[in-house]
Amino acid sequence: MKIFFTWLAICLLTFAVVAENKAKIEVPLRFDRYYTYDDVVEALKLLHSTYPLMTKLDIVGKSEEGREIYALTINNSKTGEALSKPGVYVDGNIHGNEIQAGEVCLYFANLLLTKYGENEKITKVVDKNVYYIIPVVNVDGRYHFFADAQTSSSDRSIRIPKDDDRDGLLDEDAPDDLDGDGNICMMRIKDPLGDYKSDPEDSRLMIPLKPGEKGEWTTLGSEGIDNDNDGKINEDGEGYFDGNRNWGYDWQPPYVQNGAGNFPLVALGVKAIANYIHQRPNIIVNFAFHNSGGMWLRAPSIKEERLDQRDVAIYDLIGKNAIKMTPGYVYQPSYDLYDTFGDTDSHMFNLEGSYTFVGELFMRSQETYRDNINKPLTPASDADASTSRRGGNPEENRELIKFNDNLGLNELYKPWKSYKHPTYGDIEIGGWVKMSSRLPHPFMLPELAHRNAMVVLYAAEQTPEISMEIFEVKEIGKNLHQVRVRLKNAKGLPSMSFKSMSSKLYTQDMLKVTGVKVVSSGRITDLRMNKVSYQEHKPEIIYMSVPSYGFSEFQFLVEGKGDVTVSYSSRKAGSLLKTVKL
Amino acid sequence: MIKNVRPILLAMLFLAVGVILQAQNGITFNKYKTNSEVQKALTELQLKSPSRTTMHKIAESPGGEPIYVLEIGKELKNVPAIFVGANFEGKTPLSTEGALYLAKMLLDSANYTRKVKWMILALPNPDATVGYSSTVQWERSVNDASVNDDKDDQLNEDGPDDLNGDGWITKVRAEDPEGTYIISGKDSRIMVKADPAKGERGKYKLYPEGLDNDGDGEINEDGPGGINVGINFPHLFKTNAKETGLWPGESPEAYGTMNFIFSHPEIAMVYTLGTSDYCLAPPRGGRKGGTNMESLKVPARFASRIGADPDKTYTMTEVVEMFKAAMPSRGGREMNAETVSDFLGLGAAVNPLEDDLKFYTDFSDKYKSYLKAKGGSTDRIAGDPDKDGSFELWAYYHLGVPSFSMNLFTPPKPAADQKPREAGAREAGAREAGAREMGARESASRSSEADDTEKNILAYIDNKLKGTGFVKWQPYTHPTLGKVEIGGIAPFVTSTPPATQIDSLCKIQLPWLLQLSKKLPDIQLMKEVVTDLGAGVYRLEMYVENKGILPYPTAMGAKNKQPAPVVVVLEGENLEILEGYKRTPMGDIGGNQVKKLTWTIKTDKKLIKAHIESPLFDATIKQIKIGG
């Protein structure tokens, strides 16, 4: 605790300095530094006040620590009400440490608003859809990632404490910032029986021993002490509660999956966002940004679950394009990484009927220091390969540290420094810092944000564009007409996913005839052969959908005279109306 | 859609309106209470004992009804609590009465509230109760959430209709060439599936009583309401199924219940009053799936890392040891069954664990003897088994506490001398004899269980309800089905006896739940042995006992690690612990078991202190004498 207060004092001091130096937030937004939670809120408010007619700023809900979760809606009301258009939803940072996800969301919002009316592609895509953007889901996590000492991977959790070590105390033994530098780094101790030695090429690095070599170091895990005197260090930190295991679809309890939370949607922010999305049934495509590894993940989340091949084809359309826009990233079903239950992508795809991608932003291999990036690094020797899980490929580590030295302004790595540890005695603390490893250095941030935001834009261009044509009106008897209607989709996303249809998730698109009596109706299965599959009941409404880059044709036999109105209405693909005189 | 028709026969169910059972607490049990009467009763109970009780509002139903938990024993600290949930499906009004009755018993006598507190949720699904309380009765179990059941252009447009105006939604039978039902040979009131192998051909189609209000060819497929709270809990939750909701806890009722329970870690046992009965028979097993911890395979990607053979099977203990050896944790996450399960992606438990079945079996045997002694009947028609997504399953599998359910009423099986009165029964007997003569013994004895159940229900209606409860098949001209007949067993007959029986049913059965409360684990510091090792160093051996019959936690609780840990804490001036720790989680302890904890300590004082830290158990500080 004492350490914490010393650290807090230092932090507040540095914060004051940083605050003065920090660039003012202006529109267009700049992406050469990371936004704190407060900065994100300020940026959203500024975007809203700069574009009051195009945007709406909502507070979706509040977090466990009372922070507000904001959603920015971008909609051109001149081209229609929000709910009447396909919805494109983007969020990020459900894991508190995965902060660049927030920047990608802000970048996307900034791009749409500042280029609207200036760039034709943007103008078109803004006019056809509505955008819902929640840059920070885990608002407490983002706040604490900046404010507290962390590793690059800690602070994922939702702020609901959990007794990880089952000793009756909650979150009582988290890592500690022993040297007060605002980072949780690594601890090591000199040890001739250790598994590591210093890298002869760069003494800051350690490499695993080869058989027969003498040891120099034993690693001791993250910076910390045994706060609760139970003989274990750092065994009960924040949470652990993973917001992205707490969604409703196929949720499993914590003993099956660590971090699941006690029951579905128990995290306030997750529940608020689930409700927010549920109230916007027009959402047809979702993106949830995370870090890291360079991946585009899609449903299903568990191996046993099968996806309709027709839905896979839709996912492929976006996913296979996405990996070209973000070179090095892979596109795969989420279970290929590992099985997960209660995650965003399966919830949104299965329960909201929205094609959903998880974008795992950033690959560390992009931190290059090489004359020819196409030339691979010296491959690890066999011996290295066998121990690679312990220390990584030494060549890679050397490149990463030279990247830090030559391009990263020495901001990514802390050289080892001695420290007197209450339990271990003389140790050293050092290694990769909080803002390293999973985050691109700020100089690389704009490109990362742009490339990934453009994937969202590509998906937004693919939202259905349905047109309706009454292509035949024929008198086939006294007072009896045959009216034939064709619905065409000019884009890649169908008006309804196949999964939503097979699971009867919600009311399908409706094609409705009014103004005359409908005697019978049905789908035209073969126009040339004049084949119609008639429906038995309620001929005035046909429940249907319009496929990707395709069409559907229908026939109504109607009795009467005058105006016949054919209306098409879809939850996710808008609505259309046509009238024809008999 | 529901025609406002006076229920002519309904009055028959309330024959005993005059019998007022004035209880000590002012609550009466002479009729089934409406929502507002339940709320009033809870408030009355609370106001009569304000120092012992408190009311928690845990949710509001989509229909706007508040949902309350009555806490009894609020003044007690460090004691276990029993949570009682009743009527999650909203169609067993007797179970709500049972919960109130139990509350009354607890407040009338202090016998069962000395070392345990109670939390009573009498009516978690108030919206559904309109199915019982309205003038036309139907068995409704869904709340008022907006769910478009048939996914068309209208909401709740095709509910049941009381076509014959008798106040009940029963059945419609329509002759249809594609029909699969015939009139039972055993009792002409019963419809059975035709068995083509026996030379039978279906003659009727069966429909619920109603119209095709929206003209889509279906009858009663989109009635009022949405989610059945009783199947909206996470264990074995069914996705994309009828009335389950989109996800577990989508209903505010289930969400609020889980939220309340998780904010009270002292809840050590859960009772459910409804249709299943874990008191009479242990929770059922035999579900496919789940993982056998004694026979695990290690996937290839881990096998090579930990030196396992991916083709061989191992016990969980073996796998944990392999992981420990291969991935030493210095600080960080420890390797144990939980973390390894996580690595291997082992799924959820789906069947009750064997160690837990021991107490379930033992208690159910005792319950049967108890009932016999009380003159209660065990020979009755079985109620519905626990449903996937039900509260009682969730309580056992996710909370890891003993979960006991009780069904307060199903019709008795008829005694040998009480046969259904209908003449058809005799004909059926004759036909059966004929079948035997023809040598078709096997097929005759294979009479379906459902058929028997219905026969027993009819016997109950004939013998105990004087025929009220069965609507004789009567012709009716249906707008879309044409000439049909309406009839069948009336709703609620099998779950809801005449209100005159509430008192006696509760009085006989509910005390068992009070008795079960005495089986709760009770963990205490029993005794200690101090050995002087010299130089101010002592060995302290502490015996911790579970004086209760039930283990803490259950085997399931040990697996899911949800029950609150019990920690033994040592304190003292100048106390140095050489071996062991100041706070020692004591792990699992069986019923009537003793566990020994050992420390080596150093102190120059004559006294140290020890106590148990747990939301459930006595935290009294024990003074321990050290040295002479």
Q: Report the residue from A218, A229, A255 with minimal CB separation from B338.
A: A255
Q: What is the DSSP letter of B395?
A: I
- Compute the nearest-CA separation of B9 from chain A (Å): 37
Helix (H, G, I), strand (E, B) or coil at A311: helix
**Among B234, B247, B564, beta carbon nearest to A351:** B247
What does the pLDDT look like over B458-509, one tens digit per residue? Answer: 999 999 999 999 999 999 999 999 999 999 999 999 999 999 999 999 999 9
Rama region for A493: left / alpha / beta (φ>0; ψ in -120 to 50; rest)? beta
Q: What is the CA radius of gyration of chain B?
A: 29
| Terminal CA-CA length for chain B | 86
CATH topology agreement for domains A24-146+240-362+441-461 and A466-581: no
SS3 category, B56: strand
Spell out the domains of chain B, with CATH numbers in brackets.
23-132+232-287+351-410+497-517 (3.40.630.10), 148-224+413-489 (no CATH), 296-344 (no CATH), 523-625 (2.60.40.10)
Kindly state whether A163 is in contact with chain B, defined as any CB-CB distance less than 8 angstroms. Answer: yes
Rounded CA separation B361/A73 (Å): 58
In chain B, whose CA is at the least distance from the CA of A188? B330
Q: What CA–CA distance (Å, rounded) separates B320 from A574? A: 55
Task: Note which residues in 213-232 of chain A have CB less than 8 A from chain B.
Answer: 218-222, 224, 228-232
Residue in A263, A540, A570 to test binding to B, most B beta-carbons within 10 Å: A263
Q: A16 CA to chain B: closest CA distance, Å?
A: 34
Average pLDDT of chain B is 89
CB contact under 8 A, A229 and B582: yes
Determine the pLDDT at residue B77. Answer: 95
- Asked if pLDDT for residue B450 goes beyond 80, the answer is no
Of A54, A109, A111, A47, residue with least CA distance to A78: A54
3-state secondary structure of B259: helix
Sequential pLDDT tens for chain A (582 residues): 445 555 555 555 554 444 555 679 999 999 999 999 999 999 999 999 999 999 999 999 999 999 999 999 999 999 999 999 999 999 999 999 999 999 999 999 999 999 999 999 999 999 999 999 999 999 999 999 999 999 999 999 999 999 999 999 999 999 999 999 999 999 999 999 999 999 999 999 999 999 999 999 999 999 999 999 999 999 999 999 999 999 999 999 999 999 999 999 999 999 999 999 999 999 999 999 999 999 999 999 999 899 999 999 999 999 999 999 999 999 999 999 989 999 999 999 999 999 999 999 999 999 999 998 887 776 555 444 444 444 468 888 999 999 999 999 999 999 999 999 999 999 999 999 999 999 999 999 999 999 999 999 999 999 999 999 999 999 999 999 999 999 999 999 999 999 999 999 999 999 999 999 999 999 999 999 999 999 989 999 999 999 999 999 999 999 999 999 999 999 999 999 999 998
Tell me the CB-side half-sphere exposure of residue A517, using CA atoms within 13 A.
Answer: 5
Rounded to a whole number, what is the distance in Å from the CA of A233 to chain B's nearest CA?
Answer: 4
The answer to whether B582 contacts A504, with C-beta atoms less than 8 Å apart, is no
The pLDDT, as a whole number, for residue A74 is 98
The helix/strand/coil state of A85 is coil
CA distances from A452 to A321, A359, A492, B86, B497 (A): 11, 8, 19, 51, 65
- Which tokens go with A388? 């690679």
Q: Do A537 and B250 touch (CB under 8 A)?
A: no
Based on the number of CB atoms within 10 Å of its own CB, is A405 exposed (0-12), middle (13-18) or buried (19 or more)? Answer: middle
Place of tokens 């983002």: A142
What residue in A sits closest to B265 (Cα-Cα)? Answer: A168
The Cα–Cα gap between B501 and B520 comes to: 30
CA atoms within 13 A on the CB side of B7: 22
Q: Rounded to a whole number, what is the distance in Å from the CA of A520 to chain B's nearest CA?
A: 13
Q: In A, residues 102-131, which contact B (CB 8 Å cutoff)?
A: none
Contact between residue A215 and residue A181 where contact means Cβ atoms under 8 Å apart: no
Q: Of B151, B211, B222, which to mutate for an interface test with A (greatest number of A Cβ within 10 Å)?
A: B151
Question: What pLDDT is recorded for position B409?
Answer: 97
The closest alpha carbon to B85, from B518, B499, B394, B398, belongs to: B394
In order, the DSSP letters of B419-441 are ---STHHHHHHHHHHHHHHTT-H
- Residue B447 has a CB neighbour count (10 Å cut-off) of 16
A362: left (phi over 0), alpha (psi -120 to 50) or beta: left
What is the pLDDT at residue B452?
81
Query: Given this model, what pLDDT does residue B318 score?
Result: 87
Per CB-CB distance under 8 Å, the chain A contacts of B562 are 253-255
- Chain B residues in contact with A266 by the CB 8 A cut-off are 258-259, 262
CB B55 within 8 A of CB B42: yes
Q: pLDDT at position B378, please?
A: 79
| B152, B334, B348 ranked by CB distance to A235: nearest | B334
**Sign of CA pseudo-dihedral B431, B436, B442, B445:** positive
pLDDT band at B331 (very low <50, low <70, confident <90, very high): very low
Largest CA distance in chain A: 102
pLDDT tens, residue by residue, A459-471: 999 999 999 999 9
Model pLDDT, residue A1: 46
Is B338 an 8 Å CB contact of chain A?
yes
Q: Which residues contact B408 (CB under 8 A, 6 or more apart)?
A: B94, B95, B98, B273, B505, B506, B509, B510
Q: What pLDDT digit, counting tens, does each position of B579-607 carry?
A: 999 999 999 999 999 999 999 999 999 99
**Closest residue on chain B to A278 (Cα):** B246
Beta bridge partners of B596: B543
Provide the 10 A C-beta neighbour count for residue A501: 21
Burial class (CB in 10 A: 0-12, 13-18, 19+), A125: buried
Average pLDDT over residues B211-227: 96
- In angstroms, the separation between the Cα of residue B215 and the nearest Cα of chain A is 6
Classify B571 as helix, strand or coil: strand
Percent of residues in chain A assigned helix, strand, coil, to nearest 5: 30, 30, 45
What's residue A375's pLDDT? 78
Q: How far apart are the CA of A210 and the nearest CA of chain B, in angstroms?
A: 17
B259 and A537 within 8 Å at the Cβ level: the answer is: no
Q: Is A272 exposed, middle or buried (0-12, 13-18, 19+ CB in 10 A)?
A: buried
Domain map (residue ranges) of chain A: 24-146+240-362+441-461, 163-237+369-432, 466-581
List Cα–Cα distances, A560 to A472, A485, A521, in angstroms.
16, 18, 15
Burial class (CB in 10 A: 0-12, 13-18, 19+), A40: buried
Q: How many residues does chain A have?
A: 582
Residue B628's pLDDT band, with cuts at 50, 70 and 90, is low
Residue B233's pLDDT is 98
Decide if B338 and A219 are in contact by the 8 Å CB cutoff.
Answer: no
Q: Phi/psi at B552 (nearest 5 deg)?
A: -130, 120
Measure the CA–CA gap between B550 and B547, rounded to whole angstroms.
Answer: 9
What is the side-by-side strand order in the sheet with A574-581?
A541-544, A509-514, A563-570, A574-581
Place of tokens 């959402």: A283
Q: Would an 8 Å CB–CB cutoff place A257 in contact with chain B?
A: yes
CB contact under 8 A, B331 and A222: yes
**Residue B448: is its pLDDT beyond 90?**
no
Chain A residues with beta carbon closer than 8 angstroms to that of B397: 253
User: Which residues are bridge partners to A359 per DSSP?
Assistant: A289, A296
Q: Would you state the CATH architecture of domain A466-581?
A: Sandwich (2.60)
Rounded to whole angstroms, the maximal C-alpha distance in chain B is 100
Q: How many CB pairs under 8 A join A and B?
A: 139
pTM: 0.92
Residues 23-82 of B with CB under 8 A from A: none
Residue of chain A nearest B556, judged by CA positions: A255
CB A44 within 8 A of CB A36: no
CATH homologous superfamily of A24-146+240-362+441-461 equals Zn peptidases (3.40.630.10)
Rounded Cα gap, residues B184 and B204, in angstroms: 12
ipTM, two decimals, is 0.94
Tokens found for residue A493: 């996303």
What strands lie across the sheet with B594-602, from one edge to the other? B523-534, B537-546, B594-602, B576-579
Distance in Å, alpha carbon of B304 to nearest chain A alpha carbon: 11
Average pLDDT, integer, range B400-429: 71
Question: What pLDDT, on the 0 to 100 scale, is given for residue B325?
Answer: 81
Beta-strand (E) ranges in B287-420?
296-297, 313-314, 403-406
Cα–Cα dist A230/B580, whole Å: 8
